[in-house]
Structure 1
């Protein structure tokens, strides 16, 4: 039987544990006084490009966390109970609908920002071959537009401005700081956009043969032509599709087949050997690169200039 003293100690410890739990978890309302960031609103970013953008705009006023760990393919993300709880308690969740079905299902529309709603989207790429239709059936959760909006710096600049307004509304006490940082971030992305526009203005070929169709916005912005071997990283191309892409690559003088760091290069290497081309990594920035968003995009620009024979 528990003694009176032991019972008192147990009750005291239980109360202390309850208080600590309440303090750590917060109330999940607009009151962010119990947030672990010392009163800063908790903002959840779904994957790396959105994490980078949210950190730029949030600055020292927001506590930013990311759902997708470095080196993890965002499309494969599955959420555990702690992550779902984190989304529910956050002041704002920043995501792109169609990239991660688990996140799409977990977000609260009243406390989330779908970055794709801030820009003009483009349709999903033109797909040939039965493997694309199969991929679309498997990914019924996906949207009809291409969700890879962050690969166009000009569109991401628009997202930055909108994000500044959303953070200002979630945390009015620091509204001007969010707006100022959003403006600076948008300006930096505008400058990056101009670097791409100039660097890709005069190229021997305008055709990008990519491992999967992630670069539609980059191609749209800079008047390039994307030819994806597959619809998405998980889809295996049919022999018919490989033959079609090989024929097009030869006809248009493609010298480089682009692979990705998180996707096996095997199919791209096979295609490259068929057409007498080499391979190079073009980063879709779905996971954290060695540097940051801007430096990784500049690396992509250099890769594109070499592969496409650009003279600017």
Structure 2
């Protein structure tokens, strides 16, 4: 699959090549130094290897959450993206690239983080697990891209973790993949994967019931991150911007969304914690709507975890859509 937006690839390509070249030079040098000198706190190298546990690297938060649930005490899981960092903006350090090369398994989502994609291709192609390969993905909508800087064609929407039923499928596949990497604990990984899939399917049922009967079904969002949520629960997503969260929407697009919001009697414009709310706030004022935060769960929540963040989203949506 192609990256979902070439914006990140164009901006990061030269920097990525520089980092990868530097990493190749530094890998040998790091081996000559003490681990604390080469590895920052939180790196895989500083945390893995205890009692011979496999080292698992997860590209960003939802994959880290899932990997931790399935790995349990039998493997060490480390996230590559720190809390509060937009996953698409991640640039790898030489130490992180060394960790990718040394890891037993890298769990990632191809097309989301160009730097991770390239590092995996060069250093970990035989021990990487692309979660998008386990489910049917949604084709990226062109909605919201009007007037943006011209990009290469978008291939697919990567936000599949916002559909718990799809994420349950990923959990099952991850359990099998961990079992391949660590045959001694295959049954434990498979069991935890089944338990996690059960939790995700229960969450799916909560969302099905909670969003089953609502006064309105249109979501006006700051960008089109919620396609899987809308697809699964029969909602209509209208993004001010497209999949590229940092792209500036054209004035014509803002006017178009305002017209849709008025016509469909939208009472809430949804913003995100890691994005500027300014455009959404202006739009909300223009159409006489309130704003509320809808979490794409790309980064670790300030409190709680993936499940609690998804349930908080459900409560927000029920209020905004007047669900009964």
State the TM bucket, normalised to the shorter chain: 0.7 to 0.9
Q: Aligned-residue CA RMSD in angstroms? A: 1.9
Give the structure 2 partner of residue 123 of structure 1.
139
Secondary structure of residue in 2 paired with 1:65: strand
Q: How many angstroms does 1:131 deviate by?
A: 3.0
Which structure is larger by alpha-carbon Rg, 1 or 2? 1
Distance in 2, matches of 1:230 and 1:113, equals: 30
Partner of 1:249: 261
Are 1:236 and 2:248 an aligned pair?
A: yes
Q: Distance in 2 between matches of 1:279 and 1:210?
A: 10
Asked whether the 8 Å contact 1:269–1:279 carries over to 2, the reply is: yes
Counterpart CA distance in 1 for 2:139 and 2:59 is 22
SS in 1 for 2:64: helix
- Taking the aligned partners of 1:20 and 1:106, their CA distance within structure 2 comes to 24
Q: Any stretches of 5+ residues in structure 1 without a counterpart?
A: 1-16, 26-31
In structure 1, what is the Cα distance between the partners aligned to 2:154 and 2:94? 25
Residue 99 of structure 1: how far off its partner (Å):
1.0
1:20-59 paired onto structure 2 within 5 Å: 35-59=48-72
Question: What is the TM-score of this pair, normalised by structure 2?
Answer: 0.83
User: For residue 226 of structure 1, what is the aligned residue in structure 2?
Assistant: 237
CA distance in 1, matches of 2:260, 2:154: 28
Counterpart position of 1:293:
306
User: By how many angstroms is 1:143 displaced?
Assistant: 5.2
Kept in 2, the 8 Å contact 1:204–1:310? The answer is yes
1:77 aligned residue: 90
Return closer, same or farther for 1:128/1:296 CA change in 2, 3 Å cut-off. closer
Match of 1:8 in 2: none
Equivalences, count:
281
Q: Which residue of 1 aligns with 2:281?
A: 269
Deviations 1:275-310 (A, max 9, x none): 100000000011000210001100000000000110
Gaps of 5+ in 2: 1-30, 40-44
- Matched with 2:295 is 283
Q: After TM superposition, give the deviation of residue 126 of structure 1 in Å.
A: 3.0
